[in-house]
Amino acid sequence: MPRLLVIGGMAAGMSAASKVKRTRPEWEATVLEAGPDLSYGACGLPYYLGGEVGDASDLYALSQEEIAKRGIEVKLRQRAVSLAQGRKQLEVEDLPSGRRRNEPYDALLIATGAMASLPDLRGLSGENLFTLHDFTDGRRLKSFIDQNGPRSALVWGSGYIGLEMAENLARRGIAVTLINRSTKIMRTLCPPLASRLIAEMEDKGVRVLLETRVVEVVQSHERIAAFETDRGRLSADLFLVATGVRPNTDFLKGSPLPMSQNGALKVDDFCATGIHGIWAAGDCCETNHVVTGRPVYLPMGTTANKMGRIAGANIAGGRERFPGVVGTAITRVFGLEAAVTGLSQPEAEAHGFFPVSVSIEAGSRAGYFPGGGAVSVHLVAGRDGRLLGGQIVAPEGTKGRIDALACAVTAGMKVDDFAYLDLSYAPPFAPVWDPLLVAAQALRSKL
C-alpha cells in the first residue's frame, strides 16, 4: 500500500492529505505536526485575543474525529529533523521523549509553513515578549494578558499582524504604541491610503511611530522594560514583535531540494520540487506571481489551501497546475478596511513596467443615501494600459471591490476595458459611478 507522509498539519498539509484520501482511498496518509495543534485558522488569533472570537475551539477547521473519518493518521509533537537522501525516509524527533526514528514514505509533502522572524538584536527575550504566529503563541499571550492585566503595549511591525494586534489590544483597554523602522504600512500601501490608516489608529488612541529604529533592549528581572530607539526610550508592559516571517525549512539545509535565498522551497506549477517523490506547498514555498511571471514569496492561508489541494491531486496521479498569485489581501483597522492586489507602483517600477498610477476618493454609496463614507482607490497600470495592481481603503465594501480588481489584474485586463465594466449599483451599496470606475477613468486620462 503506497504511503503519503505529510510534514505539517495546517492548511496545505491537511488539504493535500484530504485530497489524496478522496482520490486514492487505498493509500495510507500520515501527517506529522511539530506543534500540539493542527488545522486551525491562525488568521483568527488577533480577534480571539481581542474578544470578538469567543472561544478558542471556534478556530479549529477540523476536529480530531473528522480527520480520523477521512482516514488520515495524525502524529502531534513530531519534528522533522532531516531527509535521508536517496532512501525515501525522513528522520523525525518525538519532542516529548526526544527519541528519533526514521519514517518511510512513497510520497512526501513538505508543508512546514513559516516561522516568526525576530530582528537580530541582543537581549530580545523575556516573559513579556511575544510573537503571534501559532496557537501556542496565542495561548501564551492571552494567559499573560489575563493574569497580568498590562496597561501598555508596544507593537513592533506595521504589517497585517501588527495592525490587527494594535486594534485588538486597544479594544481590551491597553494603551498601544506601534512602531516600524520604515514608513511602510502593510508593506506596499501607497502614502495617501497609508495616511488614512494612521489617522484612524491615532483617532482610536494608538500612538504610531514610523521611521523608528530600535537600537537597544532594556531588560529588568527577566522582562523587557523598554526599547531604546533613535527617537527615545519606549517603555511598555507588553512587547509584541510582528516584523515578518520566514520559511520553516532549516531542517532541509544540505538537502538536494532547491531553495531560494530566504530558504523558501522552489516548486513548479504542479507543486513538485524536482526531487522524485517530494512535493511542497504553502508558506514554506515560493510561487509564481501572475503579473511579473517571476517567483515570489507571499505566505498566505488562501494560497496554502490551494497549493495543498493541487499537490494532493498530483501526488494521487493527477496533472493539475497552480497558476500563481497576485498578492490579494485584506484587513481591518478599527473602522476602516484596507486591501491590496497586484503590484504597487514601486514594485512595478522595480520590475521594469514604467507604471502610471492615480489615487482618488469617491463615496461608498449614493450621495443622498445615509451612511457610508469615502473610498480611497489607488490604481497602477503599465504604459500599455494593462492593469498591474490596486489598493483600497474604505469603511465598507472593500472586499467586493478588491476581488473585482484582483480578477481584472489576473486576467491582464486593460484600463480601457475595466473603466466600463458593468458593476452593480443600488444606493445602499454604491454610487452610479463606482469608485473603481472613477479611478479607472482618471487613470485612462493620465495614460
Ordered by where they begin, the domains of the chain are 3-115+246-315 (3.50.50.60), 129-243 (3.50.50.60), 335-446 (3.50.50.60)
Question: How does pLDDT run across 291-310, given as a tens digit for each residue?
Answer: 999 999 999 999 999 999 99
> Is 407 tagged catalytic?
no
Residue indicated by cell numbers 502614502: 191
User: Sign of the CA dihedral 127, 51, 247, 5?
Assistant: positive
Q: How confident is the model at residue 56 (pLDDT cuts 50, 70, 90)?
A: confident
Mean residue pLDDT across the chain: 96
Percent of the chain whose pLDDT exceeds 90: 95
Q: What is the pLDDT of residues 166-199, one digit of tens each?
A: 999 999 999 999 999 999 999 899 999 999 999 9
In whole angstroms, what separates CA 436 from the centre of its chain? 25
Helix (H) or strand (E) holding 250: none
416 three-class SS? helix
Q: Give yes or no for residue 85 having a pLDDT over 80.
A: no
Task: Read off the DSSP letter of residue 222.
Answer: T
**Alpha helix locations (H) across 172-293?**
191-203
Residues 6+ apart with CB under 8 A from 113: 8, 10, 12, 248, 282, 283, 284, 299, 304
Does the predicted model carry a pTM greater than 0.85? yes
Catalytic residue among 43, 190, 284, 285: 43
* Pairing mode of beta strands 175-179, 207-209: parallel
